[in-house]
Amino acid sequence: MSAPETHWTEADTQKALDLWTRYQQENDTSARLGEAVGIDPATGQVWFGTSAKDIALRRETEGSRSPLFFLRVGQDFYARKGGRR
């Protein structure tokens, strides 16, 4: 079975970031620093896990397949490419 075709836009990214900002204002995430977080801009749902793969696998068992925006709690990115110089 192949993954559904998705059309992610910059508006999806901005909505996910806005949802995450609101979520952090309403919930204490300090105990989750460094965890992966997946944000669904279509539904506003937020999932936490050890990695993006962990979240995706868990959602798949629940039947959810919509694309997510991933970050690490406490950071404005999920992962950075490249080494330190």
For residue 82, being part of any structural domain is answered with: no
Model confidence band, residue 65 (pLDDT cutoffs 50, 70, 90): confident
pTM for the model = 0.83
85-52-71 Cα angle (round to 5): 60
41: domain range? 10-24+33-72
Residue 41 lies inside a defined structural domain of this protein: yes
Would you place residue 3 in the very low, low, confident or very high pLDDT band (cuts 50, 70, 90)? low
Q: Domain count for the chain, please give it.
A: 1
What is the tens place of the pLDDT at every residue in 13-28? Answer: 999 999 999 999 999 9
Give the Å distances, CA to CA, from 61 to 19, 51, 71. Answer: 24, 16, 21
**Residue 15 falls within a domain, yes or no?**
yes
Say if residue 36 is exposed, middle or buried (CB neighbours under 10 Å; 0-12, 13-18, 19+).
buried
Helix (H, G, I), strand (E, B) or coil at 40: coil
Residue 79's pLDDT band (cuts 50, 70, 90): confident
Establish if 56 belongs to a structural domain.
Answer: yes
Note whether residue 83 is domain-resident: no
pLDDT band at 43; cut points 50, 70, 90: very high
